Structure 1
């Protein structure tokens, strides 16, 4: 089954699986915080949609699905940057703010939304590679 798959197809499948794993982690983190901010729902809803779209696209190369995937990856990149901003603000709102290094360890993870941005960028690179 894997013999003959171009690297673009493998990377789109990897992107979908990565989004699925990130979705689980983000859902656990945001539910632990009781979804205190409306924006916490965004990645919980969109990441599984990104994952399913990428996985389906890796098996069914339809033009409309490629367009939808590209659109979702742009949304994912923007959402990751927005999430990193919100997480940075969240670290600053903790007692002691940015001057307390511990706030970067126990506060909202700034890198996790940027991981979402990076995986979405990988999806776009894979889509337009050839």
Structure 2
């Protein structure tokens, strides 16, 4: 089944599976915080759509689906950067702010939204590399 698949196609499938796993983790973290901010719903809703789109695209290379996926990856890239900003602001709001290293351990994970940014960049690279 994998023989003959170009690396771009494998990477899009990998990105889709990664988005599915990240979606589970993000949903658990944001549910634990009772969705206190409206923006917490954005990755919970968009990541499963990213995952399904990438997985379907890896098996069905339709031109319109490539453009939808590209648009989603641009949105995911920007959303991840914005999420990292919101998470950094969340760490800053904790008692002691950035000066308390404990706040980086128990506060919102700054790296997780950047993982969404990185996976979106991977999706774009895979889509347009070939």
User: Is the structural similarity TM-score above 0.5?
Assistant: yes
Aligned partners of 1:104, 1:2: CA distance in 2, in Å? 41
Q: How many residue pairs are counted as aligned between the two chains?
A: 130
Once the two structures are TM-superposed, the CA of residue 124 in structure 1 deviates from its matched residue by: 0.2
Aligned partners of 2:34, 2:17: CA distance in 1, in Å? 26
Aligned partners of 1:60, 1:94: CA distance in 2, in Å? 46
* Residue matched to 1:72: 72
- Please list every run of 5 or more consecutive structure 1 residues that lacks an aligned counterpart in the other structure: none
CA shift digits 1:55-82 (9 cap, x unpaired): 0000000000000000000000000000
* Residue matched to 2:48: 48
Aligned partners of 1:97, 1:127: CA distance in 2, in Å? 40
Once the two structures are TM-superposed, the CA of residue 129 in structure 1 deviates from its matched residue by: 1.1
Q: Which runs of 4+ in 1 moved over 3 A?
A: none
Is residue 60 from structure 1 mapped to residue 60 from structure 2 by the alignment? Answer: yes
Aligned partners of 1:97, 1:65: CA distance in 2, in Å? 43
TM-score normalised to the size of structure 2?
0.99
SS in 2 for 1:128: helix
Is residue 109 from structure 1 mapped to residue 109 from structure 2 by the alignment? Answer: yes
- Please list every run of 5 or more consecutive structure 2 residues that lacks an aligned counterpart in the other structure: none
Give the superposed CA RMSD.
Answer: 0.3
